[in-house]
Amino acid sequence: MTEANNRHSVFVRYRKIIFAVILFVVADSLVIGINFYSTFKANESAVSINLSGRQRMLSQRTTKVLLLLQRSVNTNDEAGVERNLKELDLAVNLFDTTLKGFRDGDTVTGGDGSKVFLTQVDTDISRKIVEDAYVIWNPYLERLRPLLGNNRNFTTAQLEAVVSYAQDNNLEVLRLMNDLTSDLELVANNRARFLRIILILGVFVALGNFSYTVIVSIRDLMKSDEQITKAQEETAEILLTVHEGLFLLDKDGKLGTQFSASLPRMLGRAIQPGVDFIAILREMVPANVFEAATDYIELLLGDRVKESLVTSLNPLTNVPIRVLDRAGAETEHHLSFSFNRVMSGDKISHLLVTVQDVTEQVSLMQRLEQAKKQSKTEVEALLRLLGGDFESLRQFIANVERALSEINRELSATQNDGEQNSHTLANIMRIVHGVKGEAAALGVDVLENYAHECEKEMVAMRESEEGVTGDHMVRISVLLEGFYERYSSLAEIVERFGAALGKTNPDGVRRESARIGKTEQPAVVQQITSLAQRIAKDQDKQVEVFCQLDRLSTLPAHIAQELQSISIQLLRNALTHGIETPAERSALQKPEKGTVQIWCENHGNAQYDFAVRDDGRGIVPKRLRAHLVKSGKMSEEEVAQLRDEEVASLLFHSGFSTATAANRDAGHGIGLDIVLAKVKGINGRLLVRSRPDRYTEFRIEFNIAARGQDEAVDR
């Protein structure tokens, strides 16, 4: 079907040229045919004219021979008689057969003695001449007959009769033969003229045909050129306008001669026709993606697999690349490449490659992801509300708001000198760490994770060689804005659902909880227990937490809160640094499941103890010394000069951590310094007791009376 269509298409496209060629062949064949025919006729005419001319000569020769014969007879010249009779016979015979040939058409003896075919005369004039000639010739021949055939027995009377007849008719015969010759010449001339006309016509037809062919061909060529030019212009326009990068890729991995104008911009480099695309790809994508991409391209260029079956294998989707923008700044874009086979007949000739900038889509997906996280936050908050833990959540919200304001004040107070910046950063890290701990205790993952991400960045700032810079401050302000965004969503949802559940404050304004009441203590314990299990699971450890926190309900709210925050921090430390893995504990012949105890005791007279104790590794000065040297914080000599107590006190310095790797629970060197700051904040005293591989106990002694009687009463 396709082949038939192709043939039809070729015929339609070239029909004018085909017509011109047929016309040429027909016209030229006609001219050649006419030419042949005319030449043949001219040949016939030449024979006729020649022989009619000979008839004139023979008529005169016959008369002459008759006269010579009469003289030879009269002079008794025997030899003359003999010779003249012979010649007479020849002349008469030739004249007679030739005349007969003119009348009927016949083979006669030609001028050179050979046999030629004499065509019957075919004009009225010639036929009349021949008839008239016979009127004279027949009686002439009768009178000549006694003299023919070398017959010498003729009488003188017979001779005189024929001589007399010859003399009487000689001129008439000569005239008739002349006329015949003239008529034959006329016919020949007419034929020649006809031939010339035909030839001229033929030449004109040939010229016309040639001109037609040339004009048609040129016009078709021009039209074809115009179409090609138009098609090229359209292609160029498309390639200039299209937003996608478009190009053809050959089997050697080379780019075609044409590609869309947007391609160089999208790939962030100058592109030349025929350039090696594979080499470009190698520079653009990681090695593993490059390898997968070349395999995929090779698969598409082969004809063993169907294109549709391997589309999902394309590794070049959402490929991040760095390109220079118009301002010369390096920006990250995401590109997707799609490949389609281009067939020539049933063979694959090229791959059509389409490159799309999907940066916006990727950005949208990220925003969608952000929105999902947002929803998750809201759901988390909702679940807390439905779980009856509303006051804790509200308290947390208030704490976060206060913490963020504090961070902002720290930021606004900086003057960007190196030391002060480091101090500001340390303060901010402490605040963020506190928020992280509270978020973890409440299970508000979104804030815990964000705080963790912030911490990671701030640790990198703290440890950067150039120190904490103004640029870092800008970054922290952006991180703070992110914190505010997450906080606002959470606060809004808490207020909205709180109102829906009838848990709004009587005055309708969000405010801090006055105190942690008795009914809330289980919630605190539950938070601590739940956080402990989560951390233990993350670190492949087992733990049981024992809490005795009834006394918290008797404390002023701000002290109870600080203790709660301290307990969370010490719990994280205990689980990360203290409690060993089950295997380590078994090796030390300890139960696989570790224990953490948290309690609060009143010793009368407003004197309280708050303690967190674990049965883990303990604080081992030897190990701490080794860690200090290994981490490069101190030389062996410096460490050797420190007493064990001094080494242990380093645990409370910002930036110190014994964890081998940072995770969201420990390792950033923030934690115990917060504990110390909070203990100072409640005018407390921190005591640390420990035995290697046995236990670590942090005990906080404080007196609530020291903060003023009125406050204690109020609480």
Partner 1 sequence: MSSIDEKDIHSFVDAVSVYFHQITGEKAEIKAAYLVEGGVSATTFDLTGYISFSGSFSGRVYFSASRAMVSHLLLMMKESNHAEEQLLDAVGEVANTIAGNARKHFGSAMEISVPVTAVTPDNWLDTVVSPRSYVIMVKWKRYKASVVVDIRHE
By CB under 8 A, name the binding residues for partner 1. 325-327, 329, 401, 404-405, 408-409, 411-416, 469-471, 473-478, 480-481, 484-485
Nearest residue (CB) to partner 1, 272 versus 416: 416
Rg (CA), the chain: 64
CA distance 93 to 115: 14
Nearest residue (CB) to partner 1, 412 versus 605: 412
For residue 615, the minimal CB distance to partner 1 (Å) is 43
Nearest residue (CB) to partner 1, 255 versus 403: 403
Question: In this structure, are residues 340 and 352 in contact, taking their beta carbons and an 8 Å threshold?
Answer: yes
For residue 485, the minimal CB distance to partner 1 (Å) is 6
CA 207 to chain centre: 54
CA distance 434 to 187: 132
For residue 478, the minimal CB distance to partner 1 (Å) is 5
574 DSSP 8-state letter: I
For residue 465, the minimal CB distance to partner 1 (Å) is 18
For residue 262, the minimal CB distance to partner 1 (Å) is 15
- For 468-488, give one letter per residue: b (16+ CB within 10 A) or e: beeebbeebeebbeebbebbe
Question: In this structure, are residues 681 and 472 in contact, taking their beta carbons and an 8 Å threshold?
Answer: no
For residue 333, the minimal CB distance to partner 1 (Å) is 13
For residue 366, the minimal CB distance to partner 1 (Å) is 11
Nearest residue (CB) to partner 1, 34 versus 411: 411
CA distance 400 to 136: 153
Nearest residue (CB) to partner 1, 455 versus 520: 455
Nearest residue (CB) to partner 1, 226 versus 481: 481
Nearest residue (CB) to partner 1, 223 versus 409: 409
For residue 565, the minimal CB distance to partner 1 (Å) is 20
Whole-number Cα distances in Å, 558 to 96, 408, 521, 604: 162, 22, 15, 20
CA distance 158 to 105: 32
CA distance 307 to 341: 7
| Measured distance between the N- and C-terminal CA atoms of the chain, rounded to whole angstroms | 97
- Reading the block at residue 432, the tokens are 């963020």
Nearest residue (CB) to partner 1, 55 versus 395: 395
For residue 260, the minimal CB distance to partner 1 (Å) is 20
Nearest residue (CB) to partner 1, 131 versus 417: 417
CB burial of residue 187 (10 Å; 0-12, 13-18, 19+)? buried
Nearest residue (CB) to partner 1, 124 versus 466: 466
CA distance 248 to 19: 40
Whole-number Cα distances in Å, 475 to 228, 401, 652, 663: 58, 20, 27, 22
Nearest residue (CB) to partner 1, 472 versus 617: 472
CA distance 481 to 644: 43
Nearest residue (CB) to partner 1, 12 versus 327: 327
For residue 711, the minimal CB distance to partner 1 (Å) is 24
Nearest residue (CB) to partner 1, 470 versus 708: 470
For residue 403, the minimal CB distance to partner 1 (Å) is 10
Question: In this structure, are residues 278 and 271 in contact, taking their beta carbons and an 8 Å threshold?
Answer: no
For residue 439, the minimal CB distance to partner 1 (Å) is 19
CA distance 257 to 236: 12
- Reading the block at residue 339, the tokens are 């490949």
Question: In this structure, are residues 551 and 602 in contact, taking their beta carbons and an 8 Å threshold?
Answer: yes
Least Cα distance to 289 among 315, 262, 323, 251 occurs for: 315
Nearest residue (CB) to partner 1, 242 versus 411: 411
Nearest residue (CB) to partner 1, 156 versus 331: 331
Nearest residue (CB) to partner 1, 477 versus 649: 477
For residue 356, the minimal CB distance to partner 1 (Å) is 19
CA distance 316 to 318: 7
352 DSSP 8-state letter: E
CA distance 530 to 394: 19
For residue 218, the minimal CB distance to partner 1 (Å) is 49
Q: At what angle do helices 557-573 and 418-442 cross, to 10 degrees?
A: 90
Nearest residue (CB) to partner 1, 163 versus 411: 411
For residue 474, the minimal CB distance to partner 1 (Å) is 4
Per the listing, tokens 């804790």 go with: 392
What are the φ/ψ torsions at residue 590 (nearest 5 degrees)? -110, 155
CA distance 545 to 530: 9
Nearest residue (CB) to partner 1, 459 versus 568: 459
CA distance 610 to 615: 17
Helix extents (H) in 574-635: 582-587, 621-630
Question: In this structure, are residues 606 and 712 in contact, taking their beta carbons and an 8 Å threshold?
Answer: yes
For residue 480, the minimal CB distance to partner 1 (Å) is 6
For residue 664, the minimal CB distance to partner 1 (Å) is 23
Residues 6+ apart with CB under 8 A from 256: 247, 248, 249, 250, 273, 274, 350
- Reading the block at residue 146, the tokens are 């006694």
- Which residues, in sequence order, are bridge partners of residue 685? 701
- Reading the block at residue 6, the tokens are 């192709």
The C-alpha angle 122, 125, 128, rounded to 5 degrees, equals 95
For residue 423, the minimal CB distance to partner 1 (Å) is 13
Q: Which helix (H) or strand (E) holds 152?
A: none
Q: What strand order describes the sheet that includes 695-703?
A: 543-548, 594-602, 607-614, 695-703, 685-691
